Structure 1
Amino acid sequence: MNVASPVHDEGQGEDFLDESDIINEYDVDEEELPDADDEGGSDGEEDVVDDSIHIFTGHTGELYTAACSPTDPTLVATGGGDDKGFLWKINQGDWSFALEGHQDSVSCLAFSLDGKLLASGGLDGVVKIWDTASGDLRCTLEGPTGNIEWVRWHPKGHLILAGSDESSVWMWNADKAAFLNVFTGHGSSVTCGDFTPDGKVICSGSDDATMRVWNPRTGEIIHVVRGWSHLFALASWF
């Protein structure tokens, strides 16, 4: 397997952020937030249980992740500490497919934008690709030696991106089960990441308090942004 060499920061642009870079802060008045008891009905009315609501009971351990299909409003995937994933059909009975094969907890899930594939990442360090129509395993993608923290799909195809707690980001072609590139340079667990909407740039955030911007073809670092104590999520680019 050909792995791209680590690219260091020398010569790359860097930004340092502090409180002066905050655009707006918004205070939330908790009194304006609806209470759970406020939904449906006024004071004095008995709660009515909707018979169309189903409780899914496939998992035998804690749930760590859930994802909704972008093309099928009834299709939901879940994964958890029982080393399994499930595909569910909302309001259509119990689970449709059990996604078995991980050797440790299923930590993250993501549907491809066309809804045809589901990626599951595990604490076993592998990403599995599933056919959402049949529940069949399409391929297993290997390479990282640590836990998979998150998975994301390319906005225009079946390229899959995954972040690991061993400081790297990996990219594969899911249709061909082929490794494409690895992005190294973070100094700690890569806790979040994504493609930009045009698919031409990758951004990743880490416990090393940096966000790094990458060229997906070459693996080179385009830019480094420093200034947070840690990063758990990246805001949408839209």
Structure 2
Amino acid sequence: MIYQLKGAFRALGLDRRIARPFSRKIIAAIALGAIAAVSTVNLHIFATSEPAIAQGRSPAKLLRTIGDNRYAVFALAFSPNGKTILSGSIEDTIKYWDTSTGELKYTLSVHLGDVTSLAISPNGDILASASDDNTANLWNLNTGQLVYTLQGHGEAVKSVAISPNGEIVASGSWDNTVRLWNPKTGAAIGILSGHEDGVKSLTFSPDSKVVVSGDRDGKIKFWNTADFEVVRSIDAHDQEVNSLAFTPDGNIIVSASADKTLKVWNANTGALIRTLRGHDFQVYAVAITPDGRTVASASDDRTIKLWDLASGREIETITGHDKSVFAIAISPDGKLLASGSNDNTIKLWQIAQ
């Protein structure tokens, strides 16, 4: 079933340093990423019994290829049960896939610009999508219907997040603000102003009391969702903060940056714990396994790396993408990792816990 709600207008904003030719072979930037390449999209599934490291651990193995996407994908999100994965595209669409069969369930099409970020509510009923058309949308995932269009940002919306309690949607924009919304009504709750550059990344603390934003200037801000005040601000990176992720206990937050590093922070104090180095080019995305032990990162160097959070040791480098890897997502059970690349593929990997 396909829901084509309206419009095939193509946004012309090129803020991710993406060259957009008039050809329909267009480059991709995934999730919170940037940069470029060309081709069409398939989705591949991989499996491994345990992470591939030098001391006898097996590398990932391809299980299947899924997909009929014609264009590169910007964003990925797993459903709470891990049975489906959603992808957001440069062709302004969102696609809903069955992870076990590769079947395309339906396509959502209403945005008038690239879909830059996706988030799913804890109960799996609501999808939030962000777009270069300056809006965020809320969708009913049970019906595929558009519920609300969240309007108010003056520039492209680059990130969206839903609080773990399901009560707040946050959107971050190139207009330097974070906006908070009520997902039940679509009403604006508040505007978080204080960034001096565009907001690139967002995440909520596990208790939903804090939303954290990263910007193009390398700064990270912690905001209290009750009074909208800044809890702390960190000069975190030399370049833009592409992605953020909390550990399940809320004590640690990890940031990924265009400066080629990931940084591990004490979320309660803002103190730097360690810097993870190993990628050759900028790091576009970060995710943390549900047990809080492993960090996954995706980079312009075409690789995905797994890191031991406690020690900072690199566990595994996953290769297979032909071009930059822009997005990653980890399934709620921690067994699957999805990666998206500007080689126009999405790959699913089974990772060891």
TM range (shorter): 0.7 to 0.9
Whichever structure has more strand as a proportion of its residues is: 2
Secondary structure in 1 aligned to 2:327? coil
Given the alignment, which residue of 212, 227, 230 partners 2:305?
212
Report the counterpart of residue 234 of structure 1 in structure 2: 328
Letter in 1 for 2:158: Y
Residue in 2 aligned with 1:59? 153
Q: What CA distance in whole angstroms lies between the structure 2 residues aligned with 1:13 and 1:135?
A: 50
For 1:9-24, list aligned pairs within 5 A: 21-24=61-64
* Counterpart among 212, 221, 236 of residue 119 in structure 1: 212
Q: Please tell me the residue identity of whatever aligns with 1:59.
A: H
Mapped pair 1:196 → 2:289: yes
Whether contact under 8 Å (1:149, 1:191) holds in the other structure is: yes
Q: 2:258·2:283 contact (CA, 8 Å) conserved in 1?
A: yes
Contact 2:261 2:277 in 1 (8 A): yes
Distance 1:164 1:193 in 2: 9
State which drifts further: 145-154 or 28-37.
28-37
Per the alignment, residue 169 of structure 1 pairs with 262
Change over 3 Å in CA distance of 1:57–1:35 after alignment to 2? closer
The verdict on how the C-alpha distance between 1:33 and 1:227 changes in structure 2, with shifts beyond 3 A counting, is closer
Instruction: Structure 2: give runs of 5+ residues left out of the alignment.
Output: 1-52, 69-101, 111-146, 334-353
Number of the residue aligned with 1:109: 202
Shift of 1:23: 0.5
Gaps of 5+ in 1: 1-9, 38-52
CA apart distance, 1:234: 2.2
User: Is the Cα–Cα contact under 8 Å of residues 211 and 224 in structure 1 kept in the other structure?
Assistant: yes
Structure 1 position 82, deviation (Å) = 0.6
Counterparts of 2:160 and 2:313, CA distance in 1: 32
SS of equivalent to 1:233: strand
The change in CA–CA distance for 1:168 and 1:14 in structure 2 (over 3 A counts) is: farther
What's the CA shift for 1:35? 7.7
Structure 1 residues 222 and 96: CA distance shift in structure 2, 3 A? same
Match of 1:3 in 2: none
- Counterpart of 1:122, as a letter, is D
Q: Are 2:180 and 1:84 aligned?
A: no
Identity %: 29
Distance in 1 separating the partners of 2:109 and 2:242? 31
In the other structure, the counterpart of 1:47 is none
Cα gap change, 1:99 to 1:36, in 2 (>3 Å) = closer
1:154 pairs with 2:247: yes
Change in Cα spacing, 1:65 to 1:235, as seen in structure 2 (3 Å) is closer
| Equivalent position amino acid for 2:305 in 1 | R
Name the CA distance, whole Å, in 1 between partners of 2:204 and 2:246.
7
TM-score (norm 1): 0.77
State the TM-score, normalizing by the size of structure 2.
0.53
Contact 1:13 1:222 in 2 (8 A): no
Q: In the alignment, which residue of structure 2 is the partner of 1:131?
A: 224
Structure with the greater alpha carbon radius of gyration:
1
User: How many residue pairs were aligned?
Assistant: 210
CA RMSD of aligned residues (A): 2.9
